[in-house]
Structure 1
Amino acid sequence: MLINAFQRYLNNFKGFSREIWILTLITFINRAGTMVLPFLSKYLKEDLHFTYGEVGWIMVAFGLGSMLGSWLGGKLSDKIGFYKVMVFSLFSSGIFFFVLQYITSFWGLCLGMFSIMTLADMFRPAMFVSLGAYAKPENRTRSLTLVRLAVNLGFAAGPALGGLIIMGIGYQGLFWVDGGSCVVAILIFALLVKEKKKTSHQDPHNSILEVASVFKDKVFWIFLFVSFVTAMIFFQLFTALPLYHSEQFGLSEFQTGLLMTLNGLLIFALEMPIVSYFERKQVAKLKVIFWGALMMGFSFYTLLINFWAGMLVISMIFISIGEIFAFPFSNTFAMSRAPKGHEGRYMALYTMSFSLAHIISSKAGLGIIADYGYQANWFVMGTLGVVAAFCCMWIQKLLQLESEPV
């Protein structure tokens, strides 16, 4: 019986093209190699002796570079093609990582972080557009899920490997390994995958009117708000929640790590089967995103019960399931919404919503906690999740109006 269950699980990984598997491999190599990032604030504070304020500004430059890179990556994907953007982004950011270790001044690092994230995050919208070219239409969401699994596995392996490198040869080793992984990953991609023109696959559930510009697409902007909100409350996982574990319940770093591992394990075990199920049943993407946003919001409402540590586990399960529902399907909705030739612009704004959420999540969450306490922050984040869910219902009504004959 166990063998049959394992076989059914493996069946969810069938039907992908060779290019999707190679894209998954280079994503894993790249994400596992991105080991500077978890230690960046620690490196800036302890090795370069910057103040907390200076570290904060460097991280702001990091976030702004990420937003600009996302926009440029999408714009250029429409102009010159996703393939060239992906190759340029990973190769140039890999070389820049080698250089970054020699920059130690405050303004130099602000400019350096802004520049490297501009180069590095051009990759993300281009990679999303590439899924439309290399994935079969019926496998698009599963293909994204496969790439997301590679990202999660890479992020799980990267910090552990990074810690060993720091212990062995110091922080400088991180920059060499990180840069090298970018170059190796894109060389594998360039050697094994040929450039292919994007073919547009419109989703029958989201047939759209002709849109003159992405900036005039009302439905898409409401959807971007949903993406921003779900990302913002999800990023609390890495900012406010670890502090709450320690201050409210006295959990050690190891115990907090175990809760984070629970998130990773749930994603690894459940995301592909759940996505496959919804695709087979042809469930409307907005309906899945609605339940995802609702569950992410509810995960923070459960934290209002602050006298039993077991609620931390329950909350983590809800936010993990919410992530599984919301993120893969929001990506495919964004792609299916894009008119032919505008995919890059749409995916640029989609990835920018995550970059902006990353910047605002910690500032907003920690600011609320400082002024009003943890309970107020959990209530605000939970309510934002509910608002995002109702916005999904609003989008659904607007789509129905679009499809009605004039």
Structure 2
Amino acid sequence: MRGAGVRTVRGWVRDTAGGLPRTFWYLWTGTLINRLGSFVLVFLAIYLTQERGFDELAAGLVLGLWGVGGTVGTTLGGTLADRWGRRPTLLTAHLGAAGMMLVLGFAQQLWAVAGGALLLGLFAEAARPAFGAMMIDVVPERDRLRAFSLNYWAINLGFACAAILAGLAAEASYLLLFVIDAATTLATAVIIFVKVTETRAPARAVVLPAGAARPRGALRTILGDRIYLGFVALNLLGALVFLQHISMLPIAMGDDGLSPSTYGVVIALNGVLIVAGQLFVPRLIRGRSRSHVLALAAVVMGVGFGLTAFADAAWFYALTVLVWTLGEMLNSPSNSTLIAELSPADLRGRYQGVFSLSWQVAGASAPIAGGLVRQQAGNAALWLGCAAVGVVVAVAHLASGPARERRAAALRRPAGPAPAQRGPLTSAAR
């Protein structure tokens, strides 16, 4: 019996983590180290309001500027990942983020804090599309669901540890949060520099038939892709709800007399649950309709945030976190694999950048919108509104899912041989 159990565990480990490329594991390690020190964004709202004495609107504006910087960063990072390369984009973004983390930690005046947040958002988020494109480059399609799940598991393992440690560190010194975050970001850059090589395929020359139209540029291609943009818009709506756990949730808990360390423990439950269960999710959802999974995830997340309207104690806040985390666990791997399948190979960086842009737009607007709703309509209206948005997103996923799957199937089909005709020579990617 014992031997059979060991074989079962070994088989599960092999099915979950076996056979993935070495480059993936270097990226995975960098992600884990970086997230172990990801203190600042989690506690920035508390730092601004309790340590620096800014009001809720000022704190929301600073967090919003972080999102604005991220909006520029993801757009620029996606373009650079396709044109300059994944590796140099990642290195530049991580080095810049480490430097700006220290600048933000030492900034005193509101204008300096706001400027530091803007530039930090730019550098930190410029890495996201390059990282996503590199993951798609190195991991075969059949392994992407478990690869993205493993990476998400690493993110949340680091986050679970960071949230608890950050709560303790914040009580000693808020500056320590910025220093540790900068150090782990720099460590990730070192891993990429030493171990990771460029994965971007060289641009191919394409011979067009005589009289054929030139291919559209990248921007026109993306703007004309209504199916992909619709998917991005749904992610934006979901992100507006999800990001309230960074901006308005710590403020709501503070109003109920709960300390920053209590918030750290409560929010760490998000990472703990994902660490405990995320690796089982691929097997649970494999073969199921992604549209149905995404719709269910939106409803569960909406319910979790909606319950926050009634929370008034640490245990109740913890319950709401556990509920919306279940939705997050269903949403993440389905989202990641769908993005990969909807992205043309020569535009992966820019498609990743556009998707990341939805997170940055949400990052810029969620704290401002949340702060305004909370001030004007009250705490309950904010969280019940989050529940309503979750239902809307779920219905939209069910309606748009079939068209997305048809597009993904079309992109998976190999292209036929190019006609052997002479014509003008043009680059495949612009």
TM-score scaled by structure 1? Answer: 0.82
Structure 2 CA distance for aligned equivalents of residues 45 and 369 of structure 1: 15
Which residue of structure 1 aligns with residue 13 of structure 2?
A: 10
* Larger CA deviation: 237-246 vs 323-332: 237-246
The answer to whether the 8 Å contact 1:130/1:198 transfers is: no
Query: Who is 2:186 aligned against?
Result: 183
TM-score, normalization by structure 2: 0.78
Cα deviation for residue 283 of structure 1 reads 2.8
- Describe the SS at the equivalent of 2:17: coil
**Residue 124 (str. 1) matches residue 128 (str. 2):** yes
Given the alignment, which residue of 369, 374, 395 partners 1:390?
395
Q: Which moved more, 1:69-78 or 1:149-158?
A: 149-158
Indicate yes or no: 2:272 matched with 1:265: yes
1:360 equivalent in alignment to 2:365: yes
How much does 1:108 deviate? 3.1
Residues 100, 292 of structure 1: alpha-carbon distance in 2 compared, 3 angstrom cutoff: closer
2:143 aligns with 139
Return 5+ residue gaps in structure 2 as ranges.
Answer: 204-215, 411-430
Aligned length: 391
The partner residue of 1:333 within 320, 334, 338 is 338
Structure 1 window deviating more from structure 2 (392-401 vs 109-118): it is 392-401
Counterpart check, 1:29 vs 2:33: yes
Aligned to 1:350: 355
- Picking from 187, 206, 229, the partner of 2:237 is 229
Counterpart Cα distance in 1 of 2:91 and 2:44: 25
Q: Bigger CA drift: 121-130 or 227-236?
A: 227-236
Distance 2:230 2:30 in 1: 33
1:275 is aligned to 2:282: yes
Query: 2:109 aligns to what?
Result: 105
* Structure 2 counterpart of 1:322, one-letter code: G
* TM-aligned CA distance change 1:375 to 1:40, over 3 Å: closer
Provide the aligned C-alpha RMSD in A: 3.4
Map residues 57-76 of structure 1 onto 2, 5 A cutoff.
Answer: 57-76=61-80
Displacement after TM superposition at 1:47 (Å):
6.0
Counterpart of 1:218 in structure 2 is 226
Aligned pair in 2 of structure 1 residues 109, 312: CA closer, same or farther (>3 Å)? Answer: closer
Of 85, 92, 96, 1:92 maps to 96
Distance in 1, matches of 2:248 and 2:362, equals 14
Equivalent residue runs for 1:153-164 within 5 Å: 153-162=157-166
In the alignment, is the contact (CA less than 8 A) between 2:45 and 2:251 conserved in 1? no
Matches of 1:309 and 1:30, distance apart in 2: 28
CA shift digits 1:89-126 (9 cap, x unpaired):
11232233344445433333332321222112111111
Q: Which amino acid aligns with 1:30?
A: N
- Structure 1, unpaired ranges of 5+: 201-209
Equivalent residue, structure 2, for 1:299: 304
- In structure 2, the residue matched to 1:204 is none
